[in-house]
Structure 1
Amino acid sequence: MNAEFVIARPDSTERLFSIGESNQALFSTLTRLPYFTVVCLQEGSVELKADLSIYHVSAPAVLFFSPFQPFMIKKNEGSSPMKVLHFHPDFFCILKHQKEVSCNGVLFNNLFAPPFVELTNEQSVVLESVFKQMKDESSHEELAQNDLLLSYLKIFLIHTTRYKAQNQTQVEDQIAQNSNPDHSILQKYKTMIEEFFVKEHSPSIYADKLNVSLKTLGKLTKKYFDRTPSDLIQERLMMEAKRELYLTDKSVKEIAYALGFDDEFYFSRLFKKNTDTSPMNYRKSVGEDQAKIKQIEYH
């Protein structure tokens, strides 16, 4: 990062909030970070690998990643330095503030939509202005700085959520007009996962409810999401597990049981497989911690 401004924990360089511009090599290898990451692409294009999928993203665009979500960004010729924003759930928890910002399930933690939105030029100008306000406020310590940064962050996320929601609505309208039976099956599968993911972990049960073979369902999820039916169920379970780990003080055993796992250790292995970290380490890295914060500037 160049001229990166960071708000960190006391006596630590662990960041709670940071903002700046990237260098060419940032995110060029598979990355997992213990905080939310927002990347603004203003010129050119990139190849994005997120989870199991590969996307080609053209500027202007915003990319967004949840804590410990694996991603990699390969910049193409003509791409300018990317603007990058990080914030820890301790600084701003999207779940606690869902009613205010509504970005959970739109920008972050959406199994069925790409983790980015391509913008119009007008939308890009709006977000660039808010980004500049955050950067300017971060560059020098003033009275109630954190409160103002939080306000700017909320405004940025609200605008981006609106743009992404508008984009999703347009895509869904196009799907509805096409009347593709594949899309109907996948929409029903999405709804059923949301309703039954705690009780039903087996994809064959969902296939039976949908009146399709498991092989057919697998072909559809592979084609449209580059995931297996089981991947999508597990990702929804892990999403809920993360929420419990950083919003509650429930034990891993309690969380596992609440999510339909009889074996706490199997749940922990599954969690580590999906996040590359253990439930306890995830809680330690991301879990709620009302620590005081200080500002550090890096160059």
Structure 2
Amino acid sequence: MPQQLIFEDHYKRLGLEIFSEENLENIHGNQFRSDIKVFFFPPGYELTIDFNHYITQKPSLFFLTNQHLSIQKGKEKSVLLYYNRDFYCIQIHDKEVACDGLLFHNVFEIPFVELEDTETKLIQDLFQNIKDELEWKEASAEEMIRTYVKQIIIRATRKWKRQNLDNDLIKIPGSELDIFRDFSRFLEIHFREKHNVADYAELLHIAPKTLTHRFKSLHLDSPNQFIINRILLEAKRLLFYTDKPVKEIAYDLGYEDPAYFNRLFTNKTGSTPANFKKNYISGKKYNI
């Protein structure tokens, strides 16, 4: 059985579990689905997040909310830290840690950071501190644990920026970062009912042409493409992980005309929703 430690106080909940090769199957399912999750994986883990596959080459932290996770392989101990929004809400405390739209809910679907040796030691020490507090159960444990959680998130956010910004894939200078974070956050909240660039430009208090130009000037996909990608990702989740019929999925995603949704999905993926549900096997594989 995994080692499990939990803090609960009224609506607030945080837990820490340690896994290894013998009990990885316990991570599967919906047990942690509603929680914010931070995973530490050593090298050699194979995992699938939604429809992308990863193989860890270095110690890595993964940051998940509603994504579907399955682990195919892993030997050394991994750690799962999970907590609900009542314990620590990343949206409410965004000014403290500035992680929403980067570690969580980023439009580039890069939910991880790789760690060097010194960084790995620091992160492992923070996990150990949380574990100690959960075991000791002191009166001040909640605030101490929260400070350690914030340190993990802040360190990982800094690492995410160094790892991903202004490289060959994403070229966003620091001065431009907030608009992309805000776009990511609004998209995650509203993608079911807001399908147009103008909707998000209004939320960002800029003109639609300005928003599109910002993306184009940095050689990124258009805002419209990011909106479509997010809708398609949710459609794939619902098709693959639920038994909902295509018509109901279309309604769930804000399309009053299921036939239009069917054409959109087919045009963008090369497969009808029904065929995707029937034939999907695997997605992209990343060695990280």
Q: Name the structure 2 match of 1:166.
A: 162
**Which consecutive unaligned segments of at least 5 residues does structure 2 have?**
201-207, 214-219, 235-247, 255-288
How far apart are 1:163 and its partner, in Å? 1.2
Going from structure 1 to structure 2, the CA distance change for 1:94 and 1:25 (only over 3 Å counts) comes to same
Write the letter of the residue equivalent to 1:25: E
Q: Name the structure 2 match of 1:275.
A: none
Q: Name the structure 1 match of 2:71.
A: 74
Q: Distance in 2 between matches of 1:47 and 1:118?
A: 15
How far apart are 1:123 and its partner, in Å? 1.0
Q: Distance in 1 between matches of 2:18 and 2:37?
A: 13
Q: Name the structure 2 match of 1:140.
A: 136
- TM, length-normalised to structure 1: 0.57
Going from structure 1 to structure 2, the CA distance change for 1:151 and 1:201 (only over 3 Å counts) comes to same
Structure scoring higher RCO (CA < 8 A, sep ≥ 6) equals 1
Correspondence 1:136-285 to 2 at 5 A: 136-169=132-165, 172-175=166-169, 194=183, 201-202=195-196, 230-232=228-230, 269-270=252-253
SS at the partner of 2:124? helix
**Which consecutive unaligned segments of at least 5 residues does structure 1 have?**
178-182, 212-219, 222-226, 237-264, 272-299
2:43·2:59 contact (CA, 8 Å) conserved in 1?
yes
Correspondence 1:13-162 to 2 at 5 A: 16-22=13-19, 23-28=23-28, 33-50=33-50, 52-66=51-65, 69-76=66-73, 79-162=75-158
Q: Distance in 2 between matches of 1:234 and 1:90?
A: 30
2:113·2:163 contact (CA, 8 Å) conserved in 1?
yes
Identical amino acids, percent of aligned pairs: 21
Write the letter of the residue equivalent to 2:147: S
1:45·1:59 contact (CA, 8 Å) conserved in 2?
no
Going from structure 1 to structure 2, the CA distance change for 1:200 and 1:93 (only over 3 Å counts) comes to closer
Going from structure 1 to structure 2, the CA distance change for 1:98 and 1:75 (only over 3 Å counts) comes to same
What is the count of residue pairs matched by the alignment?
209
Going from structure 1 to structure 2, the CA distance change for 1:30 and 1:142 (only over 3 Å counts) comes to closer
How far apart are 1:161 and its partner, in Å? 1.3
2:103·2:157 contact (CA, 8 Å) conserved in 1?
yes
Going from structure 1 to structure 2, the CA distance change for 1:157 and 1:5 (only over 3 Å counts) comes to same
- TM, length-normalised to structure 2: 0.59
